[in-house]
Homo-oligomer: A and B are copies of this chain.
Amino acid sequence: MAPTSFQEPTDTHNHDHLVKSTDSQHPANLICTLCEKFYHLGWVAGTGGGTSIRDNDLVYLAPSGVQKELMKPEDIYVLSIAQQKDPKNRIYLRAPPSLKPSQCTPLFMAAFTKRNAGCCIHTHSQWAVLVTLLLETRPLNTNIFEINNIEQIKGFGKGFQKQGNLGYHDTLRIPVIENTPHEEDLTESLETAMDEYPDTYAVLVRRHGLYVWGETVHKAKTQAESLDYLFQLAVEMKKLGIPWLSDIA
């Protein structure tokens, strides 16, 4: 989507200092490192997917339509949450010349504002897509992915503002929302899913991929890895006739 109406920063230097740092842990550097890693995991093929990091009031965003393994800190957008009065008219503190903001922006913002997330990752992982396709198949036809009694489930927090992680016997539940032609139009159903599943750290988008977040970059990234592990396992379980839910005491 073209940035129909965002205000140019008035600063003549385009606030490059917001994305220039020699610290590998600076959000602008970290987004590039993460996106290159995600490329090699097959999560962001063909410019799909993206990553955003929040540092207090500032949000750093990968742009639209770039090769994710080649991204550079100067490609990063920065906005201030406090300054966003009108969701139709986003104000960027820093916008790279000749790039476009990501259509994922309002979805990342939902994770930051509704859940106080520190990082949100969007993947087009084929395992995520296949899980949503399997759930769509009759007689299942459901909008929730559920799995239990797999150790990797312990890689997820119990939920927003709750202490500790899920246990081995707990059922991990990830809601599935239907895809829309324009990615921004997912925002409402994503927010609804977040309201209906107040403890979830992720939402699957049917035939599209995954949004997953965490309080920190560490948690968002490791929860993304754990979910992808579970999705791949679930697809293989399906091929082998093994159910995703079981009755182990």
Query: Hey, which chain B residues are within 8 Å of A168, CB to CB?
Result: 179-181, 207-208
Residue contact B222 to A47, C-beta cutoff 8 Å? yes
* A187 interface hit (Cβ, 8 Å): no
Chain B proximity mask over A174-212: 1 for CB below 8 Å, otherwise 0: 000001110000000000000000000000010111000
Among B45, B130, B149, B181, the residue within 8 A (CB) of A226 is B45
Cβ-closest chain B residue relative to A227:
B46
* A124 interface hit (Cβ, 8 Å): yes
Query: Hey, which chain B residues are within 8 Å of A232, CB to CB?
Result: 126
Residue contact B46 to A155, C-beta cutoff 8 Å? yes
Interface residue range, chain A: 35 or more
Q: Which chain A residues (192-249) contact chain B, with CB distance < 8 Å?
A: 205, 207-209, 218, 221-226, 228-229, 232-233, 235-242, 248
* A5 interface hit (Cβ, 8 Å): no
Residue contact B180 to A242, C-beta cutoff 8 Å? no
Q: How far is the CB of A63 from chain B (nearest CB, A)?
A: 13
Residue contact A67 to B181, C-beta cutoff 8 Å? no
Query: Hey, which chain B residues are within 8 Å of A26, CB to CB?
Result: none
Residue contact A151 to B242, C-beta cutoff 8 Å? no
* A167 interface hit (Cβ, 8 Å): yes
Q: How far is the CB of A18 from chain B (nearest CB, A)?
A: 25
Among B124, B137, B239, the residue within 8 A (CB) of A242 is B137
Residue contact B225 to A155, C-beta cutoff 8 Å? no
State the A residues within 8 Å of B (CB): 42, 45-48, 67, 124, 126, 129-130, 133-134, 137, 149-152, 155, 167-169, 179-181, 205, 207-209, 218, 221-226, 228-229, 232-233, 235-242, 248
Question: Which 3 residue pairs of A and B lie closest in terms of their CB atoms, listed nearest first?
Answer: A46-B226, A151-B208, A46-B225
